[in-house]
Amino acid sequence: MRWVTFDCFGTLVDWHAGFAAILKPIVGNRGPEVMRAYHRFERLLELETPHLPYKDVLATSLFRAAGEVGIQLSESQARALPQRWATLPVFEDVEPMLAGLRAMGCHLAVLTNCDDDLFEQTERSFEFPFDLVVTAERVRDYKPSLSHFRYFARSSGVKDSDWIHVACSWYHDIAPARTFGIKSIWLDRDHTGEDPATASAHVQSASQVCEAVKKWKPS
């Protein structure tokens, strides 16, 4: 049984375009500044203990990021991201890729830094549900911690040789997948410049993923 697991936001779902659209009415043309600051605060909050729900990470990160660039948000404005979560769009190249992988007999799963109810909203945007979903809420942890990978390995019973992980984020997914000892395909949408040799394959769009999976020789 071959499994292909995915990060979701940034890999399957256009996180940046979706967030930009949500932020535009709130911060105007300061969106890029706010988003750069947001990423820093999000990483810090995800390291805190006890575990913070992702909805709180989203709202607090946005509130602090906006404040850092000189924009004061109300509590309701800071919660715009979780409140409009369902508006985040799926990348146009994703459904053909998922269909192709299913036609190849692959089982598909998602390992996401998200709450259960937020991902339930997102999953409605896909043509078919995934075979297995592992959320941060379920494992009480955030990638790049290995908790998602460990939970998936236990839940699916997959052998490492029958599993490949696909993701855009080198920091959250590709580096930890290598540490965990599984193959990975780096879907490098953001061209961030990290070492592509960290991944088993390096592609630029979802349209190239099926071909990369075909070259993988599971047990």
Quick one: which of 148, 139, 140, 196 has its CA closest to 168?
Answer: 196
pLDDT, residue 219, reads 58
Percent of the chain at pLDDT > 70 equals: 99
* Per-domain residue ranges of the chain: 3-14+87-214, 15-84
The SS3 assignment for 144 reads coil
Phi and psi (nearest 5°) for 202? -130, 115
pTM to 2 decimals?
0.96
The SS3 assignment for 203 reads strand
d(CA 109, CA 94): 14
Could you tell me which CATH number the domain at 3-14+87-214 has? Answer: 3.40.50.1000
pLDDT band at 209 (very low <50, low <70, confident <90, very high): very high
Mean pLDDT, range 41-66, rounded to an integer: 97
pLDDT, residue 216, reads 85
The whole-chain average pLDDT of the chain stands at: 97
pLDDT tens profile 130-162:
999 999 999 999 999 999 999 999 999 999 999
Instruction: Assign a CATH topology to domain 15-84.
Output: DNA polymerase; domain 1 (1.10.150)
pLDDT tens profile 116-125:
999 999 999 9
